């Protein structure tokens, strides 16, 4: 049996179109244009690509996009001053500081300075707490996107055995919280877990977010499982070329799973689409308006 491929690229395009439709209604009915500010410190090539794509897709959704590019030598105080200014700017509803930051800047202090109600990345401790308490807040784009793909694939997730491999603050931990909130039985595995293949073989839902190319093998997968691969790893492909692979050995896993996300074109495109959805929600909440239907 060959698994259904979960087309995250198409799903994300649909979500972006839905956000754009609602943004147009918000503008038409209330004269309100959601605004997203993205700060990039330094010139990390991957971060530059992400930030450029965020800007393009924000504008395509009809929102205002502010990009603030700062040199790698920028001091922490200067970065915090930008955040204070954006927190106070009524035209800006979402603020995102692209990670990783240069080593001399303390990430924790930066995230804590963002107004939690503009923290569309969902990284501020207040939003992490809200997620854990089941209160409304902002959920990080990548795990939010994974949940949307799972809901579209499986419908109700109640009672399912879910395994999350990876315990990062950006993906693993919020993913586990979201699966728990959806009534899954959740296990979190990590580098110290014993017998990872055995843990995987129990999982009806397997989310791999470890950053190790093709670590999860086909014979680790429970037959009929839904597999969400968050990994984006660049590996040598011969002839001096490289290619992207996930954390799951795709060709093997698709013979066993019922549904699986590819890399690229699976989870990746969902992250920005969910960020845009969060920015729209931030603008509506700030104005005390419901999401336009």
| Per rule CB under 6 A, count of chain residues that contact ligand GUN | 9
Q: Any contact of residue 97 with ligand GUN (CB under 6 A)? A: yes
Minimum gap (Å) between residue 141 Cβ and ligand GUN: 5
Distance between CA atoms of 205 and 52, rounded to whole angstroms?
A: 33
Q: Of 62, 141, 172, 262, which one interacts with ligand GUN (CB under 6 A)?
A: 141
Residues 143-172 as x/- pattern, contact with ligand GUN by CB under 6 A: ---------------------------x--
* Non-local CB neighbours of 18 within 8 Å, separated by 6+ positions: none
Q: Is 121 a catalytic residue?
A: yes
Name the strand (E) or helix (H) holding 4.
strand 4-5
**CA proximity to 13, closest of 192, 292, 272:** 272
Locate the DSSP E strands across 46-85: 64-70
* Token pair for 136: 């409304």
Q: Is 98 a catalytic residue?
A: yes
For residue 242, which phi and psi values (nearest 5 degrees)?
A: -130, 165
Q: Is 57 a catalytic residue?
A: no
* Token pair for 41: 């410190």
Q: Any contact of residue 98 with ligand GUN (CB under 6 A)? A: yes
Q: Would you say 80 or 154 has its CB closer to ligand GUN?
A: 80
- Check if the beta carbon of residue 263 is closer than 8 Å to that of residue 44: no
Q: Of 115, 119, 121, 229, which one interacts with ligand GUN (CB under 6 A)?
A: 121
Q: Any contact of residue 99 with ligand GUN (CB under 6 A)? A: yes
Residues that are catalytic: 54, 98, 121
Q: Name the residues that contact ligand GUN, by CB under 6 A.
A: 96-99, 121, 141-142, 170, 271
């Amino acid at each position: 049996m060959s698994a259904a491929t979960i087309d995250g690229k198409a799903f994300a395009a649909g979500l972006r179109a839905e956000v754009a439709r609602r943004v147009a209604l918000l503008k038409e009915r209330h004269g309100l244009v959601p605004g997203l500010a993205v700060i990039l410190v330094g010139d990390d090539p991957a971060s530059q690509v992400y930030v450029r794509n965020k800007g393009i897709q924000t504008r395509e959704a009809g929102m205002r996009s502010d990009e603030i590019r700062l040199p790698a030598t920028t001091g922490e105080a200067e970065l915090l001053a930008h955040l204070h200014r954006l927190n106070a700017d009524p035209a800006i509803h979402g603020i995102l500081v692209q990670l990783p930051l240069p080593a001399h800047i303390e990430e924790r202090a930066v995230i804590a300075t963002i107004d939690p109600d503009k923290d569309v990345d969902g990284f501020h401790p207040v939003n992490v707490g809200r997620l854990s308490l089941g209160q409304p807040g902002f959920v990080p784009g990548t795990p939010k996107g994974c949940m949307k793909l799972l809901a579209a694939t499986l419908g109700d997730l109640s009672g399912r055995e879910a395994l999350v491999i990876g315990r990062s603050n950006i993906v693993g931990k919020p993913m586990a919280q979201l699966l728990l909130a959806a009534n899954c039985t959740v296990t979190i595995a990590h580098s110290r877990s014993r017998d990872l293949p055995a843990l995987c073989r129990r999982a009806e839902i397997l989310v791999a977010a470890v950053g190790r190319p093709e670590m999860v093998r086909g014979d680790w997968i429970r037959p009929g499982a839904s597999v969400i691969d968050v990994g984006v790893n660049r590996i040598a492909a011969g002839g001096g070329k490289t290619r992207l692979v996930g954390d799951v050995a795709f060709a093997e896993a698709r013979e066993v799973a019922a549904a699986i996300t590819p890399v690229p074109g699976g989870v990746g495109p969902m992250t920005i689409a969910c960020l845009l959805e969060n920015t729209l929600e931030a603008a509506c909440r700030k104005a005390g308006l419901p999401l336009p239907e």
